[in-house]
Structure 1
């Protein structure tokens, strides 16, 4: 039996920051949530391959995001966003048109939506429909999630916490698993849980302007048996 193919789409990126407010940029938050979601899925479930439409801060057009999922013949597409416009809480969208897989798309979205609301405690703004390109142009069931309002102080304060971004990601992983019936790995619980339980800390071993200097430091650390990686960010 072939693996389930899940595409996760971090909204915006590159020269398109998405919504901005309270010192936050949508493109940064969506990428973190998407990467954490992928990590949780691989850690907790069997038989799933996860692909991201972008894995770093680059621009990808809406049509290319959908085309990417279509080329993979993906089983499901989930686009992650942060809202703006003065509201509060969580809402989700599916394509509003008429199509053969709509009832299945609705059923999958309902499970994901309810799980995210239950686990994040976001205010529930409801299950909605829209004519978004990534929902219209994808050939598989597709959903778009709006995870809080970047211009709402309470939501923004929540989104400023990496632990809360992990909480949103874990809720996405749990919701997708429930919706699709993924098999959990035996005796696995998520490491670095987003809320409660054991707390983990990351040690930064240097910041560099030139990537080659960062790569040199990684090699030095790995030579000493210290696992390390490069995390890109903009000051």
Structure 2
């Protein structure tokens, strides 16, 4: 990781991570969590463990909050305050609907990304005397449904938290192993198109293995270039 100028002007500098750096750190965080709980490392992180991951990283968590003040499409908010732990709030619309557990899981993982990777930025602001009202958007990461997984890269903070979301829920080594085993069994040597029969089977396997939505599985597989948009893809193993 290196610090570069924040072109959006929110901070003097902001962290620049490569995808590999985020993948490695997130995989280590999941592994450390399982080791801390005296469990063998495994690909699937449970919903309860996502709650625990946030709390073990020094944040308070309200997993059933009314976030309507921020807009109907806001599903998670992480607020930072001087001298206090970050506050993570998850929309009650997710917590109160079992059918939305996968969205709850992606939102928890996304907000964890803000807590773990971005809290030092606000700490630096507060240290230099920039204080904000507790409800001010200046000290919050407000996360809308459409950007939990797929923010534009120019919105670097939401993009990083979105990448962390996928990397926590679907650790890089395990998802690559799943796809590699599938492709080797069928003697497939090029990236599989997402819309093909094999592509759909891989997506379904990722959804089942990691307890994620179809959208989350497809985004992660495409970002890692394990699935492609067409038949003209490079080698999976090159």
Give the alignment's TM-score, normalised by structure 1.
Answer: 0.28
Give the alignment's TM-score, normalised by structure 2.
Answer: 0.28
Structure ranking higher in strand proportion: 1
Q: Report 1 or 2 for greater relative contact order, CA contacts < 8 Å, sequence distance ≥ 6.
A: 1
Structure ranking higher in helix proportion: 2
